[in-house]
Structure 1
Amino acid sequence: MEFLSCWKKRPEHLQTRKLKISKVDFKFHIIIPARYASTRLPGKPLLEINNKSLIQHVYESACQCGAENIYIATDDSRIKDKAESFGAEVIMTATDHISGTDRLAEVASILQLNDEEIIVNLQGDEIGVPAELVHQVANNLNDHPDHRIATICERIDNEKDINDPNVVKVVFDQNNTALYFSRATIPYTMKGQEQGHEQRQSYFKHIGLYAYRVAYLKKFSATPVCDLERCESLEQLRALYTGEKIYLEEACTSAGIGIDTEEDLFRARQQNAHENSGT
């Protein structure tokens, strides 16, 4: 395939924080949006790995991050009951939110948070997210006042992920600002041009861990869905469409496991069983 030669070298301009990130010196909040009606995996937050629901796995990871507050945001009483059973604080939200970010915006409004406060969106289907990554996005947003969103990515090193529409790809500029996110293969390498690109281009997978300023969440919830967001089913495209700058950095350590499909769930259960067996 034409794009295989583009994997050889990571672009030098993409910054990566070292793993030394271990704390955040300012207050931030974690909100975990969780909905029951997943299209590909219904009831996903309540599915279990090692007799523990996905939402509990995510919450326990959040508890290691030193956040001022942790909230689970849901519109489903089953998720609420499960979350409260393991001690989580739950905020019930409207049932008609288009995206998890819209749900975050409602929670920020309910809590009456200040515009400059930082919220980390920890996805309810991303288990085992290291605290270092949460600190990374929170610190990046705090360090870049000209941005109101920060997120992370990691290098793709296999052909399957490049072609998989469930793996969101991202491209960015020399200042670590995202240019576009897509389920398609981006960048596309023209036939015959791959040798010219091999020393300066790689493929990157977006990791759905975000930090937001509350002021942006207010804007987001008041902005209509754009055609790009609707086409790709990627809510971050609403931000790019309206001119928001998204700060992007390569992850300082391996991400958690995203559970989007039955295959993902099977793989996560296998990995958990392997780790618990000590082999």
Structure 2
Amino acid sequence: MRFSVLIPARLASSRLPNKPLADIGGRPMIVRVARQAALSQATQVVVAADDAAIVQACEAHGVQAVLTRSDHATGSDRLAEACELLGLDGDDLVVNVQGDEPLIDPVLIDECAAMLAHHQDCVMSTAAHSIESPDDLANPNVVKVVLDARQRAMYFSRAPIPWWRDAPQRGALHPDASPLRHIGLYGYRASFLRAFPSLAASPLEAIESLEQLRVLWHGHRIAVHISPEAPGVGVDTPEDLARVRALFGA
């Protein structure tokens, strides 16, 4: 199995300015993410940047990067351009690792790629893990996913799904069917990724603010790997950055 890891990186961030270049133990965060991804079985790891400063920081640390347009609306749009620049197309497999995940598990990256390779009827793959807390089930910032019998996504939602109608107390977790929390890691067939920006946005995508619903709305399928563990800490805020820096002894 051959696959590429692409990491979208955007310099602007409302909650954490210049986030890709934030120092973590003497290296920019985007470099930490790329080096962690390089521990997977990927044949190449490439940062898709929107600013020359990110490209320069990557090249200074031996990380491959390509400069993409700065006006892309989403990370998927940026990766679609990166596929063109790198000549990726057809059934080439691409795993999208977020640029703020310096603790991403390389094994999870491999599993996401393998899930797509093994599901020829799917254009995408992603990951999920069991929800153990009723608070997480009720939290709209925790995205949930429900699967069919072949581990393909039926729906993603910020609402608590599946809802246990006969629960002894409101919001209780069913003992035989734990809800699943979606992990924001995606595998793509390169041809689909390149075509994705041309797909019309779906009403469901707008309501839930979940881009992956566009894929399901257009009748495509997404395979889902169930991880036994929750992913590492991502970096969205200064507080997140401080926690990750502490883990690196910075």
TM-score > 0.5, shorter chain as reference: yes
CA distance in 2, matches of 1:189, 1:76: 47
Closer, same or farther in 2 for the Cα pair 1:188/1:262, shift >3 Å? farther
Instruction: Report the AA paired with residue 64 of structure 1.
Output: L
Q: TM-score, normalised by structure 1?
A: 0.81
Which 4+ residue blocks in structure 1 deviate beyond 4 angstroms?
none
- Alpha-carbon contact 2:125-2:224 (below 8 Å) kept: yes
Q: For residues 109-148 of structure 1, what are the structure 2 equivalents within 5 Å?
A: 109-148=84-123
- Alpha-carbon contact 1:133-1:253 (below 8 Å) kept: no
Instruction: Report the AA paired with residue 200 of structure 1.
Output: D
Give the aligned partner of residue 57 of structure 2: 82
Matched, 1:108 2:79: no
Moved more, 195-204 or 219-228: 195-204
- Alpha-carbon contact 2:129-2:229 (below 8 Å) kept: no
Instruction: Report the AA paired with residue 190 of structure 2.
Output: V
Task: Identify which of 10, 22, 40 aligns with 1:65.
Answer: 40
CA distance in 1, matches of 2:239, 2:13: 15
CA distance in 2, matches of 1:157, 1:263: 24
The count of corresponding residues between Structure 1 and Structure 2 is: 247
Closer, same or farther in 2 for the Cα pair 1:198/1:70, shift >3 Å? closer
Give the aligned partner of residue 207 of structure 2: 231
Q: Unaligned 5+ residue runs, structure 2? A: none
What is the Cα deviation at residue 267 of structure 1? 2.8
Instruction: Report the AA paired with residue 148 of structure 2.
Output: D
Matched, 1:97 2:59: no
Closer, same or farther in 2 for the Cα pair 1:235/1:59, shift >3 Å? same
Instruction: Report the AA paired with residue 65 of structure 1.
Output: S
Give the aligned partner of residue 193 of structure 2: 217
What is the Cα deviation at residue 239 of structure 1? 0.7
- Alpha-carbon contact 1:154-1:205 (below 8 Å) kept: yes
Moved more, 142-151 or 34-43: 34-43
* SS of alignment partner, residue 30 of structure 1: strand
CA distance in 2, matches of 1:114, 1:74: 20
- Alpha-carbon contact 1:101-1:235 (below 8 Å) kept: no
- Alpha-carbon contact 1:132-1:253 (below 8 Å) kept: no
- Alpha-carbon contact 2:173-2:179 (below 8 Å) kept: no
CA distance in 2, matches of 1:268, 1:134: 20
- The Cα offsets for residues 175-207 of structure 1, whole Å up to 9 and x where unpaired, read as 2111122233323344xx114972333222111
Closer, same or farther in 2 for the Cα pair 1:228/1:149, shift >3 Å? same
- The Cα offsets for residues 219-276 of structure 1, whole Å up to 9 and x where unpaired, read as 2121122232233332211111111100012115552222223333233233434xx8
What is the Cα deviation at residue 162 of structure 1? 2.7
Give the aligned partner of residue 255 of structure 1: 231
CA distance in 1, matches of 2:161, 2:53: 39
* Aligned sequence identity (%): 39
Matched, 1:53 2:28: yes
CA distance in 2, matches of 1:186, 1:42: 34
CA distance in 2, matches of 1:262, 1:188: 34
What is the Cα deviation at residue 38 of structure 1? 2.5
CA distance in 1, matches of 2:131, 2:209: 21
Give the aligned partner of residue 157 of structure 1: 132
Greater relative contact order structure (CA < 8 Å, 6+ sep):
1
- What RMSD in Å do the two structures reach over aligned CA positions? 2.1
Instruction: Report the AA paired with residue 92 of structure 1.
Output: L
Moved more, 69-78 or 154-163: 154-163
- Alpha-carbon contact 2:38-2:44 (below 8 Å) kept: no
- Alpha-carbon contact 2:11-2:19 (below 8 Å) kept: yes
Give the aligned partner of residue 4 of structure 1: none
Matched, 1:199 2:172: no
CA distance in 2, matches of 1:197, 1:258: 26
